[in-house]
Amino acid sequence: MGAMDLQLESTAVQHGQAKLNVEEHALVSLLPDEKYAAEKIENVDPDDYDKLEKGIMQYGCAHYRRRCRIRAPCCNEIFDCRHCHNEAKNSIIIDAVKRHELPRHEVQQVICSLCGTEQEVRQVCISCGVCMGKYFCEVCKLFDDDVSKQQYHCNGCGICRIGGRENFFHCSKCGCCYSIVLKNSHACVEGAMHHDCPICFEYLFESTNDVSVLPCGHTIHVKCLQEMEEHCQFACPLCSKSVCDMSKAWERLDEELATISDTCDNKMVRILCNDCGATSEVQFHLIAHKCQKCKSYNTRQI
């Protein structure tokens, strides 16, 4: 999957990576041609673009370019964004009892970065009239001047994602947004994205790192999958199915096993194929056992 970021709230999953998809909501966002939609921004002169764009892309943090800061409803402190809050308040150096994350939907107050005015969440500053975020989601309280991410809000996920709504669809069973290339081909797994990565244990649904959807339907960080492959691990950590097409590897293993003499010619064992689920009775081998149905060597003795 390409790269489920962020810089945003989360990512939608592509054919091997994660990107964001979103569906329309009560957004007060700006048009992609960079002209402000006057009918969507109340009490703003449609010709006053200079005031709206003042300081654009000059403020923000490592996560977002935005012209406001937020007051955390949980601890009443001010941060550039929820990620900055979570890095400061939910790190391992913080007393476990005091660790917490910012509930994004509960943010009520923002502080304009240009004039310092604290106000209720809105897109345009009530004091200096600057647009505090070219992309603005009233639901997620998300501001971002970098609209090249193609942010959208997904009603199904309940959060904002990036990548362009037209490039993704929301799978209600998996509970997340996937690339449209997977719409008729991915294996549905109940709540596939609503669990921790089986390698690093980070919660995948809100992860800002790329996520890959495996052929079995389970999900994992792209980097974690790459590390697995670097260590010659090609089976899903959750269900043990192969994470890629292993047919060429099985052919090479056929050739190698043909050159190895076997001293247990008369011993038979029952095996279960992790890939197709079939059981077989095969001749025992010290190296590997081949499924008689799908010809996979991804098997276990039972």
192 and 280 fall within a common domain: no
Last residue of a domain, one of 150, 177, 211: 150
130 and 183 fall within a common domain: no
Residue 5 lies in a domain: no
At residue 58, the pLDDT reads 96
How far is 190 from 199, CA to CA, in rounded Å?
A: 19
User: Looking only at Cα atoms, what is the longest distance across the chain?
Assistant: 88
Query: What three-state secondary structure class fits 267?
Result: coil
At residue 263, the pLDDT reads 57
Residue 8 lies in a domain: no
Q: List Cβ neighbours of 258 (8 Å cut-off, separation of 6 or more).
A: none
**Count of domains observed in the chain:** 3
Q: What average pLDDT values come out for the chain (302 residues) when binned by 10 residues?
A: 36 40 31 37 64 94 97 96 94 91 95 97 95 96 96 93 93 90 88 92 87 92 95 94 94 88 77 94 89 94 92
Here the CATH number for the domain that contains residue 180 is 3.30.40
At residue 257, the pLDDT reads 87
Which structural domain range is residue 63 located in?
45-150
254 and 203 fall within a common domain: no
| 66 contacts 82 by C-beta, under 8 angstroms | no
Q: Strand 299-301: give its sheet, edge to edge.
A: 279-283, 268-273, 299-301
52 and 146 fall within a common domain: yes
At residue 185, the pLDDT reads 85
**Helical segments of 167-272, H only:** 222-230, 247-258
How far is 158 from 87, CA to CA, in rounded Å?
A: 22
How far is 275 from 199, CA to CA, in rounded Å?
A: 20
- What is the number of H-type helices and E-type strands within the chain? 4, 15
111 and 50 fall within a common domain: yes
